[in-house]
Amino acid sequence: MTRNTEKTIVLTGGGTAGHVSPNIALLPRLKELGYNIHYIGSYDGIERGLIEAEGIPYHPISSGKLRRYRSLKNLSDPFRVLRGFFQSIGLLGKLKPNVIFSKGGFVSVPVALASRLRKIPCVIHECDMTPGLANKLAMPFAARVCTNFEETVAQIKGGKAVHTGTPIRESLADGSKEAGLALCGFTADKPVIMVTGGSQGAGAINDAVRKALSELTADFQIVHLCGSGKADDSLNEVPGYHQIEYASSEMKDLYAAADIIISRAGANTLAEILSLSIPNILIPLPLSQSRGDQILNAASFEKKGYSCVLPEEKLNTETLVEAVRNTWEKREAYRTAMLQAPDKNGLDAVLKIIVEETK
């Protein structure tokens, strides 16, 4: 097919912030390299607002979710995916991109399939230790597969996988500790714990932290990213405790203020923590709520000396307080291990693959 004379790239991915943030991290450098950037996402996923806020042309398509469990939606969603596939064929024919970069999520599957029909190279990024279902379906149509974890490369057939790490927003390194402390109303003479459960929050972590507040705030200040609609107004006056439902541009300052992070083990969050070398406690999603990817992610970080891991099945006030104290005592060892880690920001490596595949 005839390409635009200028370089055009289509980014895709969605469903969670983790499927969008690495795409956003790429935007400044792609612009510097002269790419004309478009984004294909779902009609109402989290990716739409995030991408439109960046001023990038956004093209919505129909999207379904391919579930591993029984649901009536399993009967209708394949038709949504099929519709998204034909929409993708039309969009790629209109935009004529030189390359596609897919961050995963189910909205990316029809785009990857359409890329093969349109003979456009598609670069996929897999952030978890083991590929998710959406990327498993899309990988046969990919030219290259970038991985966040080195261990993932051996799991991908065809010799198309390369370990790159995950693209991280370079602006995250520009945070101000003073601004982060001011945002929370904290002082500079007491260490700060940042608690985050992802963009939707994490009920088990929220409950455990709140039950342990009296013990934790004796030695630490706590900024709690609790998720939309999950703030507890009865705790607003607790000294040294500040709730934020969702952070965006403030995140770099909160990271700068944090001495310890308590988090789920989503791959994108782990990549950000590693890039900033912040001692951390990981509470991965249990098998009852996931396919086990966060458990594997956390185990890799623990083995490398980057993290303390506390399984949700063992999470209570006593174990949480103990994990915080142990992490604080060993904070320099964790920080040193992370500072020595290779591929702390996969931005350059992923861009190199994109440029190589641009036709």
What is the pLDDT at residue 18? Answer: 82
Looking at residue 57, which CATH number applies to its domain?
A: 3.40.50.2000
Which residues lie closer than 8 Å to 342 by C-beta, 6 or more apart?
none
DSSP code for 75: H
> Is the pLDDT confidence value at 199 over 90?
no
Exposed (0-12), middle (13-18) or buried (19+): which is 342, by Cβ within 10 Å? exposed
Residues 127 and 189 in one domain: no
> Domain total for the chain?
2
Helix (H, G, I), strand (E, B) or coil at 288: helix
Residue 56 inside a domain? The answer is yes
36 close to 66: Cβ distance less than 8 angstroms: no
Q: Residues with Cβ < 8 Å from 57, sequence gap 6 or more?
A: 37, 38, 39
Res 70: pLDDT:
58
**Co-location of 301 and 320 in the same domain:** yes
Integer-rounded Cα radius of gyration of the chain? 21
Query: Do the domain assignments include residue 17?
Result: yes
According to the model, what pLDDT value does residue 288 have? 83
Q: Please, are residues 225 and 246 in contact by the beta-carbon 8 Å criterion?
A: yes
Residues 69 and 128 in one domain: yes
Note whether 288 and 352 are same-domain residues.
no
Q: Tell whether the model's pLDDT for residue 200 goes beyond 60.
A: no
What pLDDT was estimated at residue 79? 78
Where residue 277 falls (left for φ over 0; alpha for ψ -120 to 50; beta otherwise) is: left
pLDDT of residue 47: 94
- Residues 158 and 160: their CA atoms lie apart, in Å, by 5
Residue 128 CA to residue 10 CA, distance in Å, equals 22
Which sign does the torsion angle of CA 59, 65, 71, 74 carry? positive
Mean pLDDT computed over 268-283:
96
**What's 315's DSSP letter?**
-
What pLDDT was estimated at residue 248?
84
122 plus 180 within the same structural domain: no
Q: Which helix (H) or strand (E) holds 47?
A: helix 46-52
Residue 348 forms part of a structural domain: yes
Amino acid 76: pLDDT: 60
- pLDDT, mean over the chain: 92
Domain membership of residue 3 (yes or no) is: no
The pLDDT of residue 343 is 75
Positive or negative torsion for Cα 258, 259, 260, 264: positive
**Residue pLDDT, tens place only, 308-320:** 999 999 999 999 9
> Which domain, by its residues, includes 292?
171-339
pTM reported for the whole predicted model: 0.88
CA distance 25 to 133: 24
The SS3 call for residue 71 is coil
Per-position DSSP letters for 187-222, written without gaps between them:
-TTS-EEEEE--TT--HHHHHHHHHTHHHHTTT-EE
Report pLDDT digits (tens) over 74-102.
556 677 889 999 999 999 999 999 999 99
- Residues 206, 186 within the same domain: yes
Q: Are both 29 and 150 inside the same structural domain? A: yes
Residue 225 has pLDDT above 90, yes or no: yes
Q: What is the DSSP letter of 2?
A: P
Tokens of 45: 């996923």
